[in-house]
Amino acid sequence: MELNIQKKTLNTLGSERAVYIIDGLFNEDEVSALFDSAMKSTYTLNAEWATNNTDKVKFISGRDNLEFQGSTTFSKFKDAALKTFGRFNLQLKPYDVSVNCTNPGDTPYEHRDGFCKDVLDLTFILYINTTWDRNWGGETVYYTDSGEVAFSVLPKPGRLVIHECILNHASRAPSIDMLAGQPHRFTLAAKCTNNMKYYNFKCEGDCV
């Protein structure tokens, strides 16, 4: 399985910032196992989904940060970070990990996963559906500071996207046609840093 890394750039908050799209890092068996785990998970209604200053993703299934840190999936995330944002070191740690479940008719909002520019703070998005038709939509969309769409990323099975948490983005709800092939749109999302002071702070609350 050949590794393919695409780099997109976005001028935002006064500088050019990268979004990396990585295919070939996860094989079909790994994606299938993550999909099966997502299907068996218990989801809760996001308590903040109805407020306008959040991503408005309705259903989430939280993951234990320390358990995820010891997983093969996270090991691959770290390898990908070193190949792309090479400023990270092996002390990279996850502080917010979840499986997000999006369905036709949902209304996810644009949002930033973090607001602190003084530390390198990364979001990893892994698309864990076992199949995806581009006509189903469900893209991740990135926005300029003026609110225009800069580019979008199709949720291909096993595709990993890495971006800095301060980038403005949104998931798009899939079309109803998705239900003919997949029950939900799933992503495994992890927010990570190698700054231990910031890590401890994020484990206690959001940076505002």
DSSP 3-state of 53? coil
In a domain, 1, yes or no: no
CATH value at residue 42: 2.60.120.620
In a domain, 3, yes or no: no
In a domain, 15, yes or no: yes
Least confident among 14-23, 50-59, 140-149: 50-59
pLDDT bin (cut points 50, 70, 90) of residue 208 is very low
Q: Looking at residue 13, what is its pLDDT? A: 85
Taking 80 as the threshold, does the pLDDT of residue 48 lie above it? Answer: no
Sign, Cα dihedral of 180, 41, 157, 48: positive
In a domain, 119, yes or no: yes
pLDDT in tens, 85-116: 886 556 789 999 999 999 999 999 999 888 87
Q: Looking at residue 52, what is its pLDDT? A: 57
pLDDT in tens, 61-82: 889 999 999 999 999 999 999 9
Q: Which domain holds residue 84?
A: 8-204
In a domain, 12, yes or no: yes
pLDDT in tens, 170-182: 999 999 999 999 9
Structure tokens at 124: 């990893």
Asked if 12 contacts 144 with a C-beta cutoff of 8 angstroms, the reply is yes
Q: 124 forms bridges with which residues in the sheet?
A: 162, 190
In a domain, 27, yes or no: yes
pLDDT in tens, 137-172: 999 999 999 999 999 999 999 999 999 999 999 999
Number of domains in the chain: 1
In a domain, 129, yes or no: yes
